[in-house]
Structure 1
Amino acid sequence: MSQSNAFILIIIHLSFSQSARGKECVCDLKNVDPPFPKNELTEVETTALQCIKTITLEKMTELDRLVLGLQQRIKQLDDTVIMLEKEDNRNIYGAVSLRIIELEISEIQDLVDKLNRITKNYQHLSVQTADQLSAMKDSMVKLEKFDKMQTIKKYREIQIKKKLEECKKELKATAPPPTVSSDRCGLGRLVSVAGPRTYSLTVYSTSYPYGAWGRDAKPAPGEEKKYWLVVLSSSNVYGHFIRQYNTLSTLILGIGPKDTYISSSNPTTNTIQGPNMVMYGNTLYYNCYNTYSVCQFNMTTRAVSTVALPNDAGYNNKFPFAHLGTTYIYTDMDFATDESGVYVIYASTSNFGNIIISKVETSDPPALNQTWSTSLHKKTVTNTFMVCGVLYATRYLDKEREEIFYTYDTKTNEERYDLRIHIKKMQTNIEFLNYDPRDHLLYVYSDAYILTYELIFQ
């Protein structure tokens, strides 16, 4: 119940007087309380709506994105200076080196100027909002005196009790997730997920809610800092090019992208279908258009190779990720990377729609290696990822939380359904999620936003 609605529940103090007029009895009713200030309540509601429109989520994250971008550019400048110092031989490259550094400093200065402008605007907005909040608080204190039934007080007590119950449930001990043996990774067991560490809109803004991004899990020398991004620009289903950036800051700021096209149009043969894909060894692995096949696209040669899944494997929305509220379209095949390579996660009719894990040999053409069948039905899952040969599955709890609830250990064949590791969401849906073994981060594409989360191991 909102506070505005609560004030409707008011006890009106009345005084009665009666008089006889001939054979009729007449009662006069007088309200001894002052009239309810409806206009003042309307003014509070209007001001609150104006504040919500002014302080948007995008504005709140804009400053963070700029600071992150500035940090990355300064680090990049430092790396450039070190590299040029090593390459400089008897001042042969002196003039060129100084020009490169000059350009880097100029770009950093532009970022600083923009940061100063936004900070100044935010300071003004902060002062204005603080005054509005103070005025609204005074008005609400005055209006609350009309709540004779103490509805607001009782509502607050109910909310506090509800939060306490939720805390008690969180604190209940659960069996620990499976421990990953040290001979494979030495990471220990996954105990929590921290973050988000990165949270930003891409240069495409909110136009395309389905997509994927991340880093190459096995990059070529000199390509370690690159990031890739794919948006499904056709019907939220298909994509036909990969966009690459030199650093995280350039991705967030949309500076200097390089596009590599799989095909000239969309959709067509070899088009990317669905948001689940990974980059490994300068090669993109994804679900081929309109087939139950794994596509392998070499970023250098632009050659496409394929390997077919079993002919009863789900594709074209037969076994997508889903929850009660929605279906994540064309997510029949999920691709994952871990410390040992690439996997494809899918479901088949012969396995009753339950998840199957297949190791993908990253040869050219690719091949399917060892396969494991699970008892986890794919349509009850919202996403999966692999860590050290262990499959983790997530499910939707509410708009603010996703839960890692299931694991399958490919070494021991042990399944667990009792994990309760929560992921704090910034948007309602997570369309793409993958683990990077290089930095132990989860890379997430969520309703057009890109995020990273840190996996905490014990």
Structure 2
Amino acid sequence: MIVTLHFLALLSSTVAWGRGGVIGEGRNGTAGGGGDRCTCEAFLPSSTFPVRDLVVVEQTAEEILHKLDLEMGKLEEYEIKMTAYVEKILKLTVEIEEMEKHSSDYNDADFADMKVEIKQVEALIKELQASISGSVTVFESLRVESTAMDEALTRLEKTYDKNWVLVTRREYVKIQLQLETCERRHDELFNPNIGSCAHTGIIRVGKPIVSHLNAHLNAAYKYGGWGKDSKPVPDRESMYWYSGYTSASIVDVRFYTNYQNLILRNHFQHHNLHSSWIGTGNNYIIRDNTLYYQINNPFGLAKLNFTTMKYESRVIAGVSSRFSYPNSINQIFDFAADETGLWVTYSTTESGGRMVIAKIDEASFGVEDEWQTSVYKPGVSNAFMVCGVFYAVRTVDIQTEELFYMYDTNTKQDSYISVQFDRFQDKFSNLDYNPTDQKLYMYNDGYYVKYHLWFNHTVEATAEPSLVLISDKIL
């Protein structure tokens, strides 16, 4: 009797066994001494799956999830402390106001006691600030680890059967969602002013938060954009979009129901643009489920509503096609959206290459007003709008960008600033602000990258008791 075993080996070598023990390595063998034979045939794949690499990634995922659970617990503690401190500050504010109104009723000892209470609150707030800074550092570290994990998974997906890494990819999605939850809780606690323009501008840009490589799993798709709808229609508040290509063109758009499906590259809609609607350049945005972008024939603005599939185009007289951002050709029109509406920037022959800001009426798709800046477009790597204020960005070195110029359309005043931030990769083709979460979205050499923004907030007048400014160091 002869028994033949056929199997697919995932090991680097195989051993054939017979009745007498080991009889051959990686080849057929026959046991001696008897009539019965056991033949083992091994078929090795052309390349072996690196199981050890996958195990390392899975272990990393477990460690990151454990650290995230700890940080979530800390955020809950911060929230409790923050509530208690606010109540204490409000109580002190009322007491101080009472002392100011009836100062003759209080002696030096009363004022000394109040100073002691203020110092105690100040110490508590300093302690909380240190804890918050520690959590932010942990988040940034975990982002770096999760990015490295995603790169490893992407490499395995591109080289081997995706089913082998599907389970680990799901673990990566859990990490990304947990990080998103932590960051959202952090924003709610310490940056609760989303939607408010009661600030004097951006004072800091966070570290690059890298989601992963584009949906095509192809680093050659260096041109494109991604992000969220800046004015989402009902039931699409959590939707993300992506469009990428190997050249500075826009030929299609993919939509994802939420961040999880973006990470899993599981789109629910995919629109290929009609040949006559194909755009150029990379500074397009999606607002109110409508794509706003640049076309070349005729050279001008275009909009495509994905709800009605209605297409429109407009020509703006005087716009020059000579002036583009240096990172990509055909970056003539740059669409932007903020808390106040829809904008587009460009240069004209009359402005001599200096950038012009235009407010767009969304209903008529016409220009409402224009403002000319003093910044020369070829010296700008990209730009965006926040609360009616134009921000220009320039490249400092191979790793660093800088917000260096701002123009306030409300006051018609401009100024030079210096707020630096890091890139993930060398070049980027799209940078836009989204007012729904106050984040910057960058398409960076094929990767989805975003940034937290910090603003210099001013105190809004309200009917509620205002917080007393105990010390400059507290704020």
Question: What TM-score do the two structures reach when normalised by structure 2?
Answer: 0.55
Does the residue aligned with 2:235 lie in a helix, a strand or coil? coil
Shift of 1:230: 1.0
Shift of 1:251: 1.1
Distance in 2 (alpha carbons) for counterparts of 1:287 and 1:244: 20
Number of the residue aligned with 1:398: 397
Cα offsets for 1:34-89 (capped at 9, x unmatched): xxxxxxxxxxxxxxxxxxxxxx9xx99x978x979xx9xxxxxxxxxxxxxxxxxx
Aligned ranges for residues 50-449 of structure 1 at < 5 Å? Answer: 113-114=167-168, 185-205=197-217, 206-233=219-246, 236-263=247-274, 265=275, 269-310=276-317, 312-315=318-321, 318-322=322-326, 327-363=327-363, 365-417=364-416, 419-449=417-447
Distance in 1 (alpha carbons) for counterparts of 2:272 and 2:166: 34
Does the residue aligned with 1:222 lie in a helix, a strand or coil? coil
Does the residue aligned with 1:203 lie in a helix, a strand or coil? coil
Shift of 1:430: 1.7
Shift of 1:369: 0.7
CA root-mean-square deviation = 3.1
- Are the aligned partners of 1:273 and 1:289 in contact in 2 as well (CA < 8 Å)? yes
- Are the aligned partners of 2:195 and 2:339 in contact in 1 as well (CA < 8 Å)? no
CA separation of 1:67 and 1:342: change in aligned 2, threshold 3 A: farther
Distance in 2 (alpha carbons) for counterparts of 1:341 and 1:374: 19
Distance in 2 (alpha carbons) for counterparts of 1:291 and 1:313: 12
- Are the aligned partners of 1:262 and 1:297 in contact in 2 as well (CA < 8 Å)? no
- Are the aligned partners of 1:442 and 1:453 in contact in 2 as well (CA < 8 Å)? yes
Does the residue aligned with 1:423 lie in a helix, a strand or coil? strand
Distance in 2 (alpha carbons) for counterparts of 1:259 and 1:115: 23
CA separation of 1:290 and 1:249: change in aligned 2, threshold 3 A: same
CA separation of 1:67 and 1:292: change in aligned 2, threshold 3 A: farther
- Are the aligned partners of 2:432 and 2:440 in contact in 1 as well (CA < 8 Å)? yes
- Give the number of equivalent residue pairs: 283
Cα offsets for 1:119-139 (capped at 9, x unmatched): xxxxxxxxxxxxxxxxxxxxx
Letter in 1 for 2:229: D
Distance in 2 (alpha carbons) for counterparts of 1:117 and 1:259: 26
Distance in 2 (alpha carbons) for counterparts of 1:280 and 1:117: 32
Distance in 1 (alpha carbons) for counterparts of 2:195 and 2:452: 23
Does the residue aligned with 1:114 lie in a helix, a strand or coil? helix
Cα offsets for 1:226-285 (capped at 9, x unmatched): 01111134xx1222221100111211221234102321x4xxx22121111111111110
- Are the aligned partners of 1:433 and 1:444 in contact in 2 as well (CA < 8 Å)? yes
Shift of 1:185: 1.4
Does the residue aligned with 2:396 lie in a helix, a strand or coil? strand
CA separation of 1:117 and 1:443: change in aligned 2, threshold 3 A: closer
Distance in 1 (alpha carbons) for counterparts of 2:273 and 2:259: 23
CA separation of 1:63 and 1:335: change in aligned 2, threshold 3 A: farther
Does the residue aligned with 1:251 lie in a helix, a strand or coil? helix
Shift of 1:111: 8.4
Shift of 1:223: 0.5
Letter in 2 for 1:213: W
- Are the aligned partners of 1:202 and 1:251 in contact in 2 as well (CA < 8 Å)? no
Shift of 1:420: 1.3
- Are the aligned partners of 2:254 and 2:267 in contact in 1 as well (CA < 8 Å)? no
Does the residue aligned with 1:219 lie in a helix, a strand or coil? coil
Does the residue aligned with 1:250 lie in a helix, a strand or coil? helix
Number of the residue aligned with 2:88: none
The 10-residue stretch of structure 1 (301-310 or 343-352) with the greater mean CA deviation from structure 2: 301-310
- Are the aligned partners of 2:195 and 2:435 in contact in 1 as well (CA < 8 Å)? no
Distance in 2 (alpha carbons) for counterparts of 1:444 and 1:453: 8
Distance in 1 (alpha carbons) for counterparts of 2:300 and 2:436: 27
Shift of 1:199: 3.3
Cα offsets for 1:337-374 (capped at 9, x unmatched): 100111111001111111000011111x4111111011
Distance in 1 (alpha carbons) for counterparts of 2:195 and 2:413: 18
- Are the aligned partners of 1:212 and 1:231 in contact in 2 as well (CA < 8 Å)? yes
Distance in 2 (alpha carbons) for counterparts of 1:183 and 1:224: 15
- Are the aligned partners of 1:274 and 1:287 in contact in 2 as well (CA < 8 Å)? yes
Distance in 2 (alpha carbons) for counterparts of 1:220 and 1:214: 15
Does the residue aligned with 2:390 lie in a helix, a strand or coil? strand
Distance in 1 (alpha carbons) for counterparts of 2:447 and 2:300: 28
Number of the residue aligned with 2:92: none
- Are the aligned partners of 2:301 and 2:314 in contact in 1 as well (CA < 8 Å)? yes
CA separation of 1:184 and 1:247: change in aligned 2, threshold 3 A: closer
Question: What TM-score do the two structures reach when normalised by structure 1?
Answer: 0.57
Letter in 2 for 1:403: E
